[in-house]
């Protein structure tokens, strides 16, 4: 396995020299919401008979349809937006080629990783409100981005909807919305970050995302704790980075919660 910056054409060309069977794309990426141009990856992959798989968890099919952009396989953690209620763990794999789908189905059955009946029922139930939930998630996210951008204790906000986000143009081209995951850096050290987190009342400190309730995560010590500190730094995951999954609560309550907790910073 080789990890590369998929926005770097030189790194891509070098990686394809090794004739990979599969290229795995996660866009927007976790936690810095970097955007990868799916069509560009597909055009590289086609020349090398490489399958393109896209992890579409952060946007759901409402906002991004990788198969229409040329991808071969789409993966979703249905734990997140598709179920949307933080009460199960599940996933979905969608393949363009019926034979690839058949092979994956065989493996799922063979290894026993298919969803339990009740979890599947809940997922289908959650799916019915995906569109309306996402609309609310996103209007809330836009207002929180505005709030964070204007706050003097915030060093930087990462959100593909911002014009100065390096992937903004590609996001606009291949997505129909910017999603409701936001990352930001607070001006302060780890102690100030801890104080900020402990003052939040509505946002729960948790690694998951995509549920109706707002969550906040400290990537360095949570989702990316297994990555060495020096590698975290290289990847831009600094100690003062936080990631929020904006829920569908009253947005004024969410902003008040953030504003109150930021007073300590
Ligand atoms: C959560 C997540 C996963 C893993 O899914 P689980 O349902 O937790 O196993 C994979 N990719 C992305 C982008 C995720 O957010």
pLDDT digit string (tens) for 129-148? Answer: 999 999 999 999 999 999 99
Classify domain 130-262 at the CATH topology level: 3.90.1150
For residue 83, give the nearest of 124, 133, 139, 38 by alpha carbon. Answer: 124
Give the ligand 1 atom nearest the CA of 58: 13
Give the C-alpha separation, 188 to 186, whole Å.
6
Ligand 1 atom nearest to CA at 91: 7
Q: Average model confidence (pLDDT) for the chain?
A: 96
Which of 2, 17, 22, 1 has the alpha carbon at shortest distance from 97?
Answer: 22
Q: What is the pLDDT of residues 176-190, one digit of tens each?
A: 999 999 999 999 999
Tokens 């734990």 appear where?
A: 79
**CA of residue 87 relative to chain centroid, distance:** 19
Q: Model pTM?
A: 0.95
Nearest of 116, 55, 62, 113 to residue 87 by alpha carbon: 116
Q: Is 118 helix (H, G, I), strand (E, B) or coil?
A: helix
Is pLDDT above 80 for 264? no
| Contact (Cβ atoms closer than 8 angstroms) between residue 174 and residue 69 | yes
pLDDT in tens, 37-57: 999 999 999 999 999 999 999
* Torsion sign across C-alpha atoms 245, 247, 250, 253: negative
Residue 240 C-alpha from the chain's centroid: 19
Q: Return the pLDDT at 265.
A: 72
Domain boundaries, the chain: 9-127, 130-262
* DSSP-assigned states of every residue in 166-190: TTHHHHHHH-SS--SEEEEEESS-H
CATH number of 9-127: 3.40.640.10
For residue 37, the 8-state DSSP code is -
Pocket probe mutation, ligand 1, options 80, 87, 206, max atoms within 8 Å of Cβ: 80
């Amino acid at each position: 396995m080789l990890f590369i910056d998929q926005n770097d054409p030189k790194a891509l060309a070098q990686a394809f020299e090794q004739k990979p069977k599969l290229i795995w794309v996660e866009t927007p990426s976790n936690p810095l919401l970097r955007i990868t141009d799916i069509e560009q990856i597909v055009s590289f992959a086609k020349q090398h008979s490489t399958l393109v798989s896209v992890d579409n968890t952060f946007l759901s099919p409402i906002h991004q349809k990788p198969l229409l952009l040329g991808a071969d396989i789409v993966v979703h953690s249905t734990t997140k937006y598709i179920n949307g209620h933080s009460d199960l763990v599940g996933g979905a794999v969608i393949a363009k080629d019926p034979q690839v789908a058949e092979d994956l189905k065989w493996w799922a059955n063979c290894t026993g990783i298919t969803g339990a009946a009740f979890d599947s029922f809940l997922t289908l139930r959650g799916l019915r409100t995906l569109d309306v939930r996402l609309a609310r998630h996103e209007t809330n996210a836009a207002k929180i981005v505005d709030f964070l951008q204007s706050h003097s204790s915030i060093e930087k906000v990462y959100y593909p909807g911002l014009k100065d986000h390096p992937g903004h143009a590609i996001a606009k081209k291949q997505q129909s919305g910017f999603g409701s995951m936001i990352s930001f850096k607070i001006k302060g050290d780890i102690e100030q970050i801890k104080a900020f987190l402990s003052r939040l009342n509505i946002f729960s400190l948790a690694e998951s995302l995509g549920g109706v309730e707002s969550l906040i995560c400290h990537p360095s010590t949570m989702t990316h704790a297994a990555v060495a500190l020096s590698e975290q730094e290289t990847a831009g995951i600094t100690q003062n980075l936080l990631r929020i999954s904006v829920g569908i609560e009253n947005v004024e309550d969410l902003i008040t919660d953030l504003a109150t907790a930021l007073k300590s910073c």
